[in-house]
Structure 1
Amino acid sequence: MNNDKIVVGSEEWVMLPQLEIPAIKVRVDSGAKTSTLHAVNIEPFQRGTETWVSFDVLPIQRNGKKIIHCEARVIDKRIIKSSTGTKESRYVIKTSFKIGDFSFEIELTLTNRDSMGYRMLLGREAMMGRMLVDPENSFMLGEMSDEDVDKSYKTSVTNRNGLNIGLLASNPDLYSNQRIIEAGERLGHNITFYNIRQCYMKLDAKTPEIHYRGGRILNDLDAIIPRIRPSMTYYGCSLARQFEALHIYCLNSASAISQSRDKLYSLQLLLNHGVDIPTTGFANSPLETSDLIKMVGGSPLIIKLLEGTQGKGVVLAETKKAAESVINAFKSLNANILVQEFIKEANGKDIRCFVIDGKVVASMQREAPPGEFRANIHLGGTGSLIKVTPEEKKIAIKATKAMGLQVAGVDIIRSAKGPLLLEVNSSPGLEGIEAATGMDIASFMIKAIERKLGYKSTAK
């Protein structure tokens, strides 16, 4: 205690007794004015002359199985500006709040915080006159282990007779995979991670099968979400093709993934569907280096190894001499290379559109870090919310259809001659775009499967 105020760290475990939430990790943020609780399925209703709201809380990050159904009286409805700059109308409730041995009432706004690191944020309005913050420390009023948290929840909500969905990927701890599993569980489905390397198949005309480590047969799945890293494209697509042969729906087919991963073929497909791209040359260890450079408008230009991924094997050649040097170096590898015009006016920025079921559900602008020309999150770039033009949306949707993909990350660059398409990604990451937009992309993916299979969900 200090001047009768509670000393707290930058994160603490708290209780919300009236909402019957026994434990939730809160981010203590004096930079935020209002306190916020992660809530989904938010529905207002009348109780006598008063407006109330019902909502579901998933209090534990990346755990879709613990769901608390809550009801509270609405005391206000406010326009709140989020950390991403988005303005949103939110319901405000008042509820009991317990931290350590101290209890009092606080106001909470309700919103979907799926993409955030904490399920609750404690703002300065709730702290004023009550707390001092020591930002260098955490859990000053008591830490809780996973076992402690489980014990505090006497009952867990089990899945509601949903679909059996498999997530076919390589890393279960990846943000995108965690979010997809969480969203599937929250929407009432049984969703399981399957490591691509641990799957194997039986090719047989009468009894084809796919097995998982330990001999488990996966033929009873309703759907598969393939998220195949580039190094596993061949085997991952072979598995996806086997699932399709077993009449198990794949969110992105094997053929669509394969052709999106072939950089040259994908560009040819895009051009055949009327999608504009930067002028591009293709060669295998060319002898006519000067003509290849001239073909795409001269230097500066981009040189890419056909097999490169996530920005690897991509070089900016600022002069003709530098371009010739790089191309000649690639000759010694006997490598297939793409040579592409450099769009200087883009100024190290591009646009990532996330397309699901033929609709752009979210978009962000990516900006390259200082000294880098590629606007790539993997290379330290930043993402921010952006409103794309109707033409850019049209290009993103057309490109996704050209690839035959249901889910895609489409990269577009703004040039003096209009928007140009750079690449279509069949396993786009969720972390950057969910953080930049605040959108629940993972749930959109699960709902796309529900629509395809005609599943009527009661969750939202």
Structure 2
Amino acid sequence: MIDKIIVGSEEWCSLPNLKVPAIKVRVDSGAKTSALHAEQIVPFEKNGEKWVKFVIHPIQRSAKSTINCEAKVIDKRVVKSSTGTRESRYVIQTELSLGEQSWNIELTLTNRDSMGFRMLLGREAMTGRIIVDPDEHFKFGIVTPEKLKEYYSTSHLGDKKGLRIGVLASNPELYSNRRIMEAGELRGHEMHFLNIKHCYMKLDADHPEIHYRGGRILNDFDAVIPRIRPSMTYYGCSLIRHFESLKVYSLNNAASITQSRDKLYSLQMLLNHGVDIPTTGFANSPLDTNDLINMVGGSPLIVKLLEGTQGKGVVLAETKKAAESVINAFKSVGANILVQEFIKEANGKDLRLFVVDGKVVAAMQREALPGEFRANIHLGGKASIVKVTPDEKKIAIKAAKAMNLKVAGVDIIRSAKGPLLLEVNSSPGLEGIEGATGKDIAGEMIKAIEKNFKWLH
């Protein structure tokens, strides 16, 4: 039989398995589950089982002390927080040491920056072991600031090496974002996943700042890697500009991302730099539809929404009548469109060349699956390694340079008149091309950042 211990409403404890020597915990019998403050939560597989990596800042209202942790996932469940919001959280099991007793407890991982305590001990972890006296505090002693400094000194945590790099994106579980985080860590850098929606800015002439949910200040980053989804372009680029004003290096800068997302402007820029594209038309009035169709060689032709992204908002019009109907339908709702010649000889194939720091580091061919529409666009399909020509490499490098992008996915189609550029993507995905080629593209992106910090070499 286990003798129950009497604890106060707040205590100092340790989590030996996670290498956390001291953390202040709120003891709350009104809460069912226990929770631990965690950031940069990234799932991964280990020996065929699901694990999770995460970062702990164990000291309240401070991000200076950082502990990188990993633990086996035992569950993922929806938890209702004290504010009434429901959140899906990973659940781990770890050892808790309190006073002279230790036992295993379940912990849910969540961001507690806005809460008073980095850890909450709920009644599931107390059952059969703890009696709470709410009038008491720190019955097992207080960890002094001096002791905390000793616990979380540089010598305890290991000397900081490399750069402090943020991956500015929306989904930490996305393959591309996970690979970039892994590649940075493998090269000795301190990697942080920064959710765009959790960042906000202070515009001030003397003390500009970028804050993260809960009030953590992000001004001390060396570099950020933008991975901005199209729907977040405006806000994401605003954040990048603010980072840039703080002298934080951005792998792709805000201006280059903004112009790459404007399909018409980017095509005009590419043409001005001598990059060939499929013949393309743009008009404002439906009265010009007939001449617009003739301008690009007639039907069949491609109709593209200017606001569409990654194959969405793209229609193949096989006849002139169909083209007129599609164009006029878009115009009737005030949508801006491009019309583009259909490259029949491409036979449902295009090329994706991945450019990093002025070099083509990988290339793949994408081919439509049976029954799938593919014409001057990239829908996915079957990816395979391909040998690209010097001219195709030249176009890709020239296009990335024209758009001032350090990292770019350049889409090219092979036509009877030579290679033609379709689109330049400022946040290209890594999964397809790394899988097809076996190349470590994420590592190349990290190396491109390192080149800007000569003291590393």
The whole-number CA distance in structure 2 between the counterparts of 1:372 and 1:198 is: 38
Deviation at 1:201, TM superposition (A): 0.5
Post-superposition Cα deviations, 1:298-328, rounded to whole Å, max 9, x if no partner, equal: 0110001110012111000011011011111
Deviation at 1:372, TM superposition (A): 2.5
Post-superposition Cα deviations, 1:185-216, rounded to whole Å, max 9, x if no partner, equal: 11110010011111110111111111110101
The whole-number CA distance in structure 1 between the counterparts of 2:298 and 2:158 is: 61
- Residue in structure 2 matched with residue 446 of structure 1 by the alignment: 446
Question: Residue 247 of structure 2 aligns to a residue in which SS?
Answer: coil
Deviation at 1:387, TM superposition (A): 1.0
- Residue in structure 2 matched with residue 292 of structure 1 by the alignment: 292
Gaps of 5+ in 1: 1-22, 28-59, 66-144
- Residue in structure 2 matched with residue 25 of structure 1 by the alignment: 47
Contact 1:169 1:227 in 2 (8 A): yes
The whole-number CA distance in structure 2 between the counterparts of 1:290 and 1:245 is: 48
Whether 1:435 and 2:457 are equivalent positions in the alignment is no
TM-score by length of 1: 0.65
- Residue in structure 2 matched with residue 388 of structure 1 by the alignment: 388
> Matches of residues 344-359 of structure 1 in structure 2 within 5 Å?
344-359=344-359
Contact 1:365 1:386 in 2 (8 A): yes
Equivalent residue letter for 2:294: K
- Residue in structure 2 matched with residue 367 of structure 1 by the alignment: 367
Equivalent residue letter for 2:354: F
- Residue in structure 1 matched with residue 410 of structure 2 by the alignment: 410
Post-superposition Cα deviations, 1:363-391, rounded to whole Å, max 9, x if no partner, equal: 00011122233279984511100111000
Cα 1:432–1:157 change in 2 (3 A) is farther
Contact 1:358 1:401 in 2 (8 A): yes
Cα 1:380–1:408 change in 2 (3 A) is closer
The whole-number CA distance in structure 2 between the counterparts of 1:433 and 1:235 is: 28
- Residue in structure 1 matched with residue 319 of structure 2 by the alignment: 319
The whole-number CA distance in structure 1 between the counterparts of 2:243 and 2:294 is: 46
Whether 1:419 and 2:408 are equivalent positions in the alignment is no
Deviation at 1:354, TM superposition (A): 0.3
Deviation at 1:157, TM superposition (A): 10
Deviation at 1:158, TM superposition (A): 6.4
Cα 1:346–1:264 change in 2 (3 A) is same
Contact 1:311 1:376 in 2 (8 A): no
Cα 1:455–1:302 change in 2 (3 A) is farther
> Matches of residues 26-425 of structure 1 in structure 2 within 5 Å?
161-374=161-374, 379-425=379-425
Cα 1:221–1:275 change in 2 (3 A) is same
Cα 1:172–1:26 change in 2 (3 A) is closer
Deviation at 1:147, TM superposition (A): 5.8
Post-superposition Cα deviations, 1:258-309, rounded to whole Å, max 9, x if no partner, equal: 0000000000000000000000001224212110000001011000111001
Equivalent residue letter for 1:195: N
Contact 2:430 2:442 in 1 (8 A): yes
Contact 1:303 1:316 in 2 (8 A): yes
Cα 1:174–1:375 change in 2 (3 A) is farther
- Residue in structure 1 matched with residue 27 of structure 2 by the alignment: none
The whole-number CA distance in structure 2 between the counterparts of 1:425 and 1:159 is: 37
Post-superposition Cα deviations, 1:404-433, rounded to whole Å, max 9, x if no partner, equal: 100000000000000000000000000000
The whole-number CA distance in structure 2 between the counterparts of 1:407 and 1:353 is: 11
The whole-number CA distance in structure 2 between the counterparts of 1:447 and 1:375 is: 35
Contact 2:244 2:250 in 1 (8 A): yes
Deviation at 1:332, TM superposition (A): 1.5
Question: Residue 185 of structure 2 aligns to a residue in which SS?
Answer: helix
Contact 1:168 1:196 in 2 (8 A): yes
Question: Residue 228 of structure 1 aligns to a residue in which SS?
Answer: coil
The whole-number CA distance in structure 2 between the counterparts of 1:232 and 1:258 is: 11
Cα 1:445–1:380 change in 2 (3 A) is closer
Cα 1:179–1:375 change in 2 (3 A) is farther
Question: Residue 412 of structure 1 aligns to a residue in which SS?
Answer: strand
Contact 1:356 1:445 in 2 (8 A): yes
Cα 1:205–1:232 change in 2 (3 A) is same
Question: Residue 452 of structure 1 aligns to a residue in which SS?
Answer: coil
Equivalent residue letter for 2:295: M
Cα 1:24–1:335 change in 2 (3 A) is closer
Of the structure 1 ranges 362-371 and 246-255, higher mean CA displacement relative to structure 2 is found in 362-371
- Residue in structure 2 matched with residue 3 of structure 1 by the alignment: none
C-alpha root-mean-square deviation of aligned residues, in Å?
2.6
TM-score by length of 2: 0.66
The whole-number CA distance in structure 1 between the counterparts of 2:263 and 2:173 is: 28
Cα 1:264–1:390 change in 2 (3 A) is same
Contact 2:269 2:402 in 1 (8 A): yes
The whole-number CA distance in structure 1 between the counterparts of 2:389 and 2:363 is: 11
Cα 1:441–1:418 change in 2 (3 A) is same
Deviation at 1:456, TM superposition (A): 2.7
Equivalent residue letter for 2:47: K
The whole-number CA distance in structure 2 between the counterparts of 1:317 and 1:392 is: 28
Contact 1:408 1:428 in 2 (8 A): yes
Query: Considering only CA atoms, is the larger Rg found in Structure 1 or Structure 2?
Result: 2
